[in-house]
Amino acid sequence: MLIGVMKKGDRVVSVAADFIAVERRNGEVDILPLDRQDGSIRVDMEHIVTIGFGDNIIQTTDGEMTITTF
């Protein structure tokens, strides 16, 4: 099995049974949730969380609306 989620310059920070944490070249970290179905593993693309740089703001998009939490 190959999980091809990295690009040149990225590195894996952590691997657990239900997620992979990948540090991107720009310093942000993507938390990639793993979904196990029918004996296979896939990355749950709809629930990826990116930890990035900012002013302590959490931002998510729900449909066409962006929600910001301080």
Q: How confident is the model at residue 2, as a pLDDT?
A: 86
Spans of all domains in the chain = 11-69
Sole residue written with tokens 């793993």: 34
Query: How does pLDDT run across 10-59, given as a tens digit for each residue?
Result: 999 999 999 999 999 999 999 999 998 888 889 999 899 999 988 887 87
Cβ neighbours of residue 25 under 8 Å, at least 6 residues apart? Answer: 7, 8, 9, 10
Q: How confident is the model at residue 51, as a pLDDT?
A: 93
Q: How confident is the model at residue 15, as a pLDDT?
A: 95
Query: Per DSSP, what are the bridge partners of residue 19?
Result: 33
* Prediction pTM value: 0.80
Q: How confident is the model at residue 70, as a pLDDT?
A: 66
H helix or E strand, kind and range, residue 32: strand 29-37
